[in-house]
């Protein structure tokens, strides 16, 4: 049985949702940590409803935040616990997306995921393995888990925008090129943007590139 995810929601400026953006937060954070990004995006995406779920587990490394799955090198968990956690959280997030699309009366091709850090990791994991392609994935400051399995396990190939700071001390900058090479090699439409001088965060230039990507791919 999947776990119900608590979430925040920002209604579309126009009053009628034609598309959906779901923010997927990082390790030790919560949905509210990213939902504020709707403020600069919404004026340019007036028909978009913005959602931001909390991950299903309390974070071992931050008692005030949440995690999608354990991270062994941060919380001392086992690799097997991390693997099982990813599988279960993927089921939870997929069920959440399906339910929210049904709530809003939208199709999968009107949905985009915007992930940060661990949120990018799970977004890049689930999007290619869903039954129907979503509109796209914006992947901030994360990595592609198990890139060697991507080509064989991908059922759909949504476009992906990778964005990473070249001064990231948490998730190494080179993970961006590792993800990009695997995605391109598996036939994904893949784009990249480097936030120069940026650490583990989202800089204005990165958000601007993300907005352009979303505007091009979400229904108007």
pLDDT (tens digit per residue) in 106-150: 999 999 999 999 999 999 999 999 999 999 999 999 999 999 999
What's the CA gap between 159 and 191, in Å, rounded? 8
Q: CA quadruple 193, 26, 89, 21: dihedral positive or negative?
A: negative
The pLDDT score that the predictor gives to residue 76 is: 84
Closest Cα to residue 66, out of 81, 51, 87, 85? 85
157 φ/ψ angles, rounded to the nearest 5 degrees? -135, 75
Closest Cα to residue 24, out of 81, 106, 96, 128? 96
The pLDDT score that the predictor gives to residue 96 is: 99
For residues 26-55, give the mean pLDDT.
98
Greatest alpha-carbon pair distance for the chain in Å reads 47
Residue 190 lies in a domain: yes
The pLDDT score that the predictor gives to residue 61 is: 82
Distance, C-alpha 100 to centroid of its chain: 16
Total structural domains within the chain: 1
What's the CA gap between 147 and 127, in Å, rounded? 14
The pLDDT score that the predictor gives to residue 17 is: 98
The pLDDT score that the predictor gives to residue 37 is: 98
Q: Are 158 and 134 in contact (CB under 8 A)?
A: yes
Confidence category of residue 189, pLDDT binned at 50, 70, 90: very high
The pTM for the full model equals 0.97
For residues 18-47, give the mean pLDDT.
98
Residue 176 lies in a domain: yes
The pLDDT score that the predictor gives to residue 62 is: 86
Helix (H, G, I), strand (E, B) or coil at 70: coil
Helices (H), 2-136: 32-35, 38-41, 72-75, 79-104, 118-126
Kindly tell me the number of DSSP H helices and DSSP E strands found in the chain: 8, 9
Helix (H, G, I), strand (E, B) or coil at 193: strand
Given a cut of 80, whether residue 183 has pLDDT beyond it is yes
Residue 124 lies in a domain: yes
Q: How confident is the model over 58-102, as pLDDT tens digits? A: 998 888 999 999 998 888 889 999 999 999 999 999 999 999 999
Q: Which CATH number does the domain housing residue 71 bear? A: 3.40.50.1820
DSSP assignment, residue 64? T
What's the CA gap between 27 and 30, in Å, rounded? 8
What's the CA gap between 120 and 153, in Å, rounded? 18
Boundaries of domain holding 11: 7-217
Bigger pLDDT: 74 vs 21:
21
Residue 1 lies in a domain: no
What's the CA gap between 166 and 199, in Å, rounded? 7
Q: Are 98 and 4 in contact (CB under 8 A)?
A: no
Q: How confident is the model over 159-182, as pLDDT tens digits? A: 999 999 999 999 999 999 999 999
Residue 31 lies in a domain: yes
Using only C-alpha atoms, the chain has a radius of gyration, in whole angstroms, of 16
């Amino acid at each position: 049985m999947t776990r119900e995810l608590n979430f925040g929601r920002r209604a579309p400026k126009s009053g009628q949702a034609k598309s959906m953006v779901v923010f997927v937060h990082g390790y030790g954070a919560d949905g509210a940590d990213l939902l504020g990004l709707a403020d600069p995006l919404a004026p340019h995406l007036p028909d978009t409803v913005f959602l931001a779920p909390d991950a299903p587990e309390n974070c071992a490394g931050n008692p005030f935040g949440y995690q999608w799955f354990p991270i062994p090198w941060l919380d001392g968990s086992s690799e097997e616990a991390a693997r099982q956690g990813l599988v279960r959280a993927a089921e939870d997030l997929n069920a959440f997306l399906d339910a929210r699309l049904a709530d809003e009366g939208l199709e999968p091709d009107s949905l985009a995921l915007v992930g940060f850090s661990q949120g990018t990791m799970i977004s890049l994991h689930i999007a290619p393995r869903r039954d129907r392609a979503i509109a796209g994935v914006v992947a901030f400051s994360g990595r592609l888990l198990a890139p060697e399995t991507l080509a064989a396990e991908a059922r759909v190939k949504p476009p992906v925008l990778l964005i990473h700071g070249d001064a990231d001390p948490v998730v190494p900058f080179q993970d961006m090129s590792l993800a990009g090479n695997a995605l391109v090699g598996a036939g994904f439409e893949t784009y990249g943007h480097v936030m120069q001088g940026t650490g583990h965060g989202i800089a204005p230039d990165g958000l601007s590139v993300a907005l352009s990507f979303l505007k091009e791919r979400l229904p108007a």
